[in-house]
Amino acid sequence: MKIKLLSVLILAFVLFGCESSGSSGTQRASAGNQAPNHFNTPLKTVYQDYFPIGNIVNNNYLRGDFFEILKTHFSVVTSENNMKPDHLGPRERGGNYNFAPADNQIRIMAENGIRMHGHTLIWHSQTHRWMTEGTPEQVRENLVNHINTVMAHFKGRVTSWDVVNEAVRERVNPGENYELWRNHLRQESGWFKALGADYIDLAFRTARAADPAVTLYYNDYNLDNSRKAQVVANMVREINARYRSEGNTRNLIEGVGMQAHYGLTTSVPNVRASIERFIALGIEVSISELDVEVRSVGSGSFGIGHSRRLSDMEQRQQAIKYAELFSLFKQYKDHIARVTLWGIDDEHSWKSLGNPCLWDARLQPKQAFFAVANPTEALGIDENH
Ligand code: XIL
């Protein structure tokens, strides 16, 4: 699909041009030549008839221009790390929980009208080892205690939780039976080793009992891959069917979070097929960790501090992918509960080498930002096309 460069430039001019007139309704935090141009067209306003639009929060983002961007554009956030088991939970069995950083983030976000999504309760990664060591009874108790403690602490302040994160293998092989979802779970997970596949059902039931007001999510990546999506769909279907057969009128797993760590080669039709597969289960979908790398970096190269200047071509290709994704998401607005981006600027992204964000290292909005602000324009298509 051809981008209409001219229209992007015009759009950029219009958006930037508004700034000096102060007609956008939002104010710049600071003046000066280097002050970033990111306070116009709040994305949360652009998408207000579609879905809440989110980003992550971490302690760096609580100040200065990062904070201004968060406040201006986003209505929901996920704590990048501070609500994960290794950040919250004690280093040893019986030790104290450390809720202070997450509490601080929630307080500041709430003061600014930003809601918090909970991420994440049960995961093979970023989890202290003691939690999954010992007899199955002990590990089971650790799982239940962790969920109860954390959900009780955040009760009323977090309305949705990723209960289980990344339980399915990174890659699901072709030609296998995806109905047998248990065969595709991560064997290296400490929870799986101790409790087998049942830890998933247990985690969700514990979470439901801990706080029935919360919407419970299963969250994973590579869900644009139809094989992995089938495994997850079969898991959700079976767990929900069993739960309902016990007389419950509500689903146990109420949403799937598609992390959406994407790249230029991501197939938008595949993303569509997976969204449809999940909503056919009668559950909601959230795009939970969206970023689009301009070049794919291996997991060994993750980390902040390695962004670079993109060529115009790279910027445009990335902008098109973002525009295609957002115009797809808009079509599923009745089923998409939230679209959350994973990071504000390229330099502080967990995948900084891939320059995957909407703002560059100087906090200038990239072409990708304008593409998200107006995907139809960026793609040069009719709304109904
Ligand atoms: C990442 C964070 O962005 C990094 O800061 C951290 O070092 C590792 O985790 N899937 C998830 C997120 O569910 O929690 C991960 O976040 C990215 C992949």
Q: What is the DSSP letter of 297?
A: -
**Residue-level pLDDT at 381:** 77
| Mean pLDDT estimate for the chain | 91
**Residue-level pLDDT at 83:** 98
Judged by DSSP in three states, 311 sits in coil
**80 touches ligand 1 (CB under 6 Å):** yes
Res. 86: pLDDT tops 60: yes
Q: What is the DSSP letter of 359?
A: B
CA distance 69 to 363: 9
**Under 8 Å between Cβ of 89 and 146:** yes
**340 touches ligand 1 (CB under 6 Å):** no
Section 317-325 average pLDDT: 98
Res. 385: pLDDT tops 70: no
**Residue-level pLDDT at 19:** 34
**Residue-level pLDDT at 353:** 95
**160 touches ligand 1 (CB under 6 Å):** no
- CA–CA distances in Å: residue 24 to residues 14, 65, 101, 268: 11, 17, 33, 32
**81 touches ligand 1 (CB under 6 Å):** yes
**Residue-level pLDDT at 296:** 84
Compute the distance from residue 60 Cα to the ligand 1 centre, in Å. Answer: 15
**Residue-level pLDDT at 2:** 44
Per-residue pLDDT band at 28 (split at 50, 70, 90): very low
**Residue-level pLDDT at 382:** 61
Section 227-251 average pLDDT: 98
- CA–CA distances in Å: residue 377 to residues 12, 318, 326: 11, 15, 12
Compute the distance from residue 117 Cα to the ligand 1 centre, in Å. Answer: 15
Per-residue pLDDT band at 301 (split at 50, 70, 90): confident
Q: What is the pTM of this model?
A: 0.90
Which has more confidence, 38 or 237?
Answer: 237
Section 265-288 average pLDDT: 98
Which of 350, 351, 353, 357 maximizes ligand 1 atoms within 8 Å of its Cβ, making it the mutation to test the pocket?
350
Section 98-123 average pLDDT: 98
Q: Whose CA is nearest to atom 13 of ligand 1?
A: 165
Which of 59, 80, 83 maximizes ligand 1 atoms within 8 Å of its Cβ, making it the mutation to test the pocket?
80
**Residue-level pLDDT at 33:** 40
**Residue-level pLDDT at 309:** 95
CA distance 372 to 385: 17
Per-residue pLDDT band at 384 (split at 50, 70, 90): low
Q: Whose CA is nearest to atom 15 of ligand 1?
A: 80
pLDDT over 70 percentage in the chain:
89
**Residue-level pLDDT at 350:** 97
Helical residues (DSSP H) of 172-225, grouped into ranges: 190-195, 198-210
Query: Long-range contact list for 9-17, CB < 8 A, 24+ apart?
Result: 11/370, 11/373, 11/374, 11/377, 11/378, 12/370, 15/40, 15/41, 15/370, 15/373, 16/40
Residues with a catalytic annotation lie at 166, 220, 289
Flag the least confident range among 15-19, 133-137, 205-209, 276-280: 15-19
Q: Whose CA is nearest to atom 4 of ligand 1?
A: 350
Compute the distance from residue 344 Cα to the ligand 1 centre, in Å. Answer: 14
Q: How large is the greatest C-alpha to C-alpha distance in the chain, in angstroms?
A: 66
Res. 151: pLDDT tops 90: yes
Per-residue pLDDT band at 383 (split at 50, 70, 90): low
Compute the distance from residue 36 Cα to the ligand 1 centre, in Å. Answer: 26
**Residue-level pLDDT at 22:** 31
**Ligand 1 atom with least separation from CA of 56:** 3
Q: Which residues pair with 65 in a beta bridge?
A: none
Range of 18-27, 30-39, 345-354 with top mean pLDDT? 345-354
Residue closest to 84 by CA, chosen among 65, 68, 64, 105: 105
Compute the distance from residue 86 Cα to the ligand 1 centre, in Å. Answer: 12
* DSSP H or E run through 293: strand 284-293
Is the N-terminal amide bond of 376 cis, ω within 30° of 0?
Answer: no
